[in-house]
Amino acid sequence: MQSEIFAIIPTDSKSITTMQKTVVEKIRSIIMHCKFGAVFFVSSFPDYDVEYVTKLLPVFEKEGLIFRISKGVYVKARKTQFGILYPSAFEIAAEIAKRDKAAIIPTGVTAANLLGFSDQVPMVTSFLTTGSSRKIAIGKRKIVLKHGAPRNFAFKSALMRDLVQALRCIGESNVTAKDEAQISKLLKDNTDMEIIAKDLLLAPVWMRNIIKRNIKDTAL
């Protein structure tokens, strides 16, 4: 395996210099000392040449040090008797968003499950993003990042942002008394009522009406 690593290091001599070996070991050490679940991109190693790191990461993948989940995206996963234990979809999506300097919002069944409206664990975890659209397969699971319209990211409250997506998934005619009780609980546990009051103006009218009647002890 060392011959594969050294083969990708440009050198004018037949022997591999101590410095070149040190670079390989430094990057290997960075990965080894990261916690399981860490996500790596070529940009995760800014001190080294991009082309060099691009060729080096697949070599570490062959060693079993990291696992490739998408083009240019690797994770430090844990091997168990049941298979490879990957980070959660939320962790991976958050790391991709961080790299791309983008915002993400859970959407569809993902948002409904996150806020407790559904016990269904989606096989496809979906997000809206201010970045580029992409799909990532992790075993049998999938992560879908879809570029969303700016209005979806206008909410200042994380709860309102996610709640609008969850209600959109449920649908106006399908909101039950149980759903409304959950809305009431979520709002009761939230302390940013002034922000929510402003965010309500951005929500569709039917959502606004449902949310307002489930707000307790406020002037809204």
pTM: 0.79
Confidence class of residue 40 from pLDDT cuts 50, 70 and 90? very high
Q: What is the pLDDT of residue 60?
A: 93
Q: What is the pLDDT of residue 144?
A: 96
Q: What is the predicted pLDDT for the residue at 14? A: 43
| Contact yes or no for 104/129 (Cβ under 8 A) | yes
CA 123 – CA 135 distance, rounded (Å): 13
pLDDT band at 19 (very low <50, low <70, confident <90, very high): low
Cβ-based neighbours of 210, under 8 Å, separated by 6 or more: 167, 175, 180, 183
Residue 20 has a pLDDT of 60
Q: Tell me the pLDDT of the chain averaged across its residues.
A: 87
Interval 55-83 mean pLDDT: 89
Q: What does the pLDDT look like over 87-110, one tens digit per residue? A: 889 999 999 999 999 999 999 999
Which tens digit of pLDDT belongs to each residue from 158-173? Answer: 999 999 999 999 999 9
User: How far apart are the C-alpha atoms of 11 and 6, rounded to whole Å?
Assistant: 9
Between CA 26 and CA 56 the distance in angstroms is: 12
Q: Which residue has the higher pLDDT, 208 or 191?
A: 208
